[in-house]
Structure 1
Amino acid sequence: MRVSYSDDTCLVIDDFPDRDAFRRLSMSIQFVDYEPIHSTKWNKPYGPPGLPIIQSAGVLRGQKQSTPPRLGLIGDFVDQLRNSRAPISDGPGAGVVGSRILTGKLIAMGAGAGLFWHADTDQVNGAYIFYVHPRWDSSWGGELMVMDGAAELGVGALADSAGGGAERPDYESLGAVIGPDFRTDPAEERRMQIGTGRFYTARPNRLVLINGQVEHRVNPVLPAAGDQFRCSIVGFGIK
């Protein structure tokens, strides 16, 4: 395990489990049951329905415990992450490892699929992405893109106003990120004004931890990937 990058928003750890443990984990993902990510509702950050994105059931650790069938090794991974010490438990990782509940599920993206710019809700302390595919080429896309600067979150207030008939908050003055925004709200102006950030390739056996206030997206998987899926364990530290 080695730290490849660290700042106040992101921590990148390469070779998190040892080689044999990673080989077992990366082989196990082909035996997991998946369903389309849009199967029960439109999961808006992942783009319009019809894109090649599939997901597994979720693992829970902490105040609630759950390990669905065929996800034993995923549960072991979440346990390992939850019990991690420094350097993972420091900086952005502290919000994930020290959370009341830690989640984990497999998400696989095919060519054309990505993730829109967004920040996580104020109900999470942070998120992690662990790349579990056995191979990935830098020409296949799928990079995690992280924007500079902390975001102002407004999704909770907007949802409350939309559901309860209250007056819509003045997001033009707040400059808040209000979730999958169809790129029509002031958050897009903010993104264009900042216009800088970092990217992290989907290197196998790479763990990326980010805090809950940073805007991020996944660059679409390129046609060069062919029938290869970008496979990752994704989870949140729940407050």
Structure 2
Amino acid sequence: MKLVASGERYRVIDDFLSSDDLEEIRSLMRRRRFEQVPSVVYPEADGHALRSRGALLRQDAVALSADTQEQGAPPGAYQAILRELRAHPDMFGTPGGDWSVVGFSFWKYPAGSRLGWHNDVATGRQGEFVFFLHEEWRASWAGELILLDVDPAAIEVDTAGMSPLETVEAKASLATQALTAIVPKPNRLVLVKEGTIHCIHRVDHTAGETLRQTMTGFVAAHPPEKWRRSASSNIDRLASLLGSN
């Protein structure tokens, strides 16, 4: 595991998991059921992705799965992710204080799909992570995570008549800072600070049948009390709300 890149609002860690833990989480992903979902940003332009049912990890390393509805110690790969999230309080805040849960889903993006400019702002979120799980990726297949490594509030644009998504894209278009493109290298973990403007570059047609596969999750405060009353449905609802990359 090694930190290979960092900025004001992101960090990139390569060779994140051991071979055993990586195979464990890939096996977990393969056993999940996926459904085709439209983009939550620009459905017509972005195309569709495939999303698994979600799950919730408490910061104290007890997991409750939306698929199995069984409680217990999470797999080693999940524990490694939680340890890494705890190791960056400057990005996510204090575990158990600023954040208590991580809602995540597995995602698959086929050739031709993308996710337009957005910033994943929601009450209680502290940030997110993207962990690349495909076994092979070539730079020519694109699918990069592209982000603007600057506080969005520092970019002034005339927002008159713009929707929130249009405002986000305008800031990405007009910013004087260069965009950062992160290649979806296998076993690469990317940490992103809350509110960061980013997108997923369209996966090139030359990727063929190879899917861009990730575990994507959001670091957040406890879900509202009403979401905790029925774990079997509410955890899935939480992760569906939180996961998009």
Q: Could you say which TM-score interval applies, normalised by the shorter chain?
A: 0.7 to 0.9
* Corresponding residue number in structure 1 for 2:241: none
**Change over 3 Å in CA distance of 1:187–1:59 after alignment to 2:** closer
Task: For residue 91 of structure 1, report the CA deviation from its aligned partner.
Answer: 3.6
Task: For residue 117 of structure 1, report the CA deviation from its aligned partner.
Answer: 0.6
* Corresponding residue number in structure 2 for 1:193: 174
* Corresponding residue number in structure 1 for 2:202: 220
Task: For residue 9 of structure 1, report the CA deviation from its aligned partner.
Answer: 0.4
What amino acid sits opposite 2:91 in the alignment?
P
Task: For residue 35 of structure 1, report the CA deviation from its aligned partner.
Answer: 0.7
Task: For residue 99 of structure 1, report the CA deviation from its aligned partner.
Answer: 1.7
* Corresponding residue number in structure 2 for 1:232: 214
TM-score (norm 1): 0.75
Instruction: Specify the SS of the correspondent of 2:65.
Output: coil
* Corresponding residue number in structure 1 for 2:37: 37
Instruction: Specify the SS of the correspondent of 1:44.
Output: coil
**Change over 3 Å in CA distance of 1:173–1:104 after alignment to 2:** closer
Match of 1:55 among 29, 51, 55: 51
Equivalent runs, 1:66-105 vs 2, <5 Å: 66-69=64-67, 76=75, 77-84=77-84, 88-92=87-91, 94=93, 99-105=99-105
Task: For residue 94 of structure 1, report the CA deviation from its aligned partner.
Answer: 4.6
Determine the C-alpha separation between the residues in 1 that align with 2:140 and 2:174.
Answer: 28
Task: For residue 48 of structure 1, report the CA deviation from its aligned partner.
Answer: 2.7
- Contact kept in structure 1, 2:105 and 2:216, CA below 8 Å: yes
Task: For residue 103 of structure 1, report the CA deviation from its aligned partner.
Answer: 1.1
* Corresponding residue number in structure 1 for 2:112: 112
What amino acid sits opposite 2:179 in the alignment?
G
Task: For residue 207 of structure 1, report the CA deviation from its aligned partner.
Answer: 0.3
Unaligned runs of 5+ in 1: 153-170
Determine the C-alpha separation between the residues in 1 that align with 2:192 and 2:214.
Answer: 15
The CA deviation string for residues 30-73 of structure 1, in whole angstroms up to 9 with x for no partner, is 222111123xxxx422633993411001111228952133799x
- Contact kept in structure 1, 2:14 and 2:188, CA below 8 Å: yes
What amino acid sits opposite 1:61 in the alignment?
L
The CA deviation string for residues 207-239 of structure 1, in whole angstroms up to 9 with x for no partner, is 000001210000011001001110000000113
TM-score (norm 2): 0.73
**Change over 3 Å in CA distance of 1:174–1:238 after alignment to 2:** farther
Task: For residue 106 of structure 1, report the CA deviation from its aligned partner.
Answer: 0.2
**Change over 3 Å in CA distance of 1:188–1:203 after alignment to 2:** closer
Q: Percent identity?
A: 22
* Corresponding residue number in structure 1 for 2:233: none
Task: For residue 139 of structure 1, report the CA deviation from its aligned partner.
Answer: 1.0
Determine the C-alpha separation between the residues in 2 that align with 1:225 and 1:67.
Answer: 31
Tell me which moved more, 116-125 or 59-68. Answer: 59-68
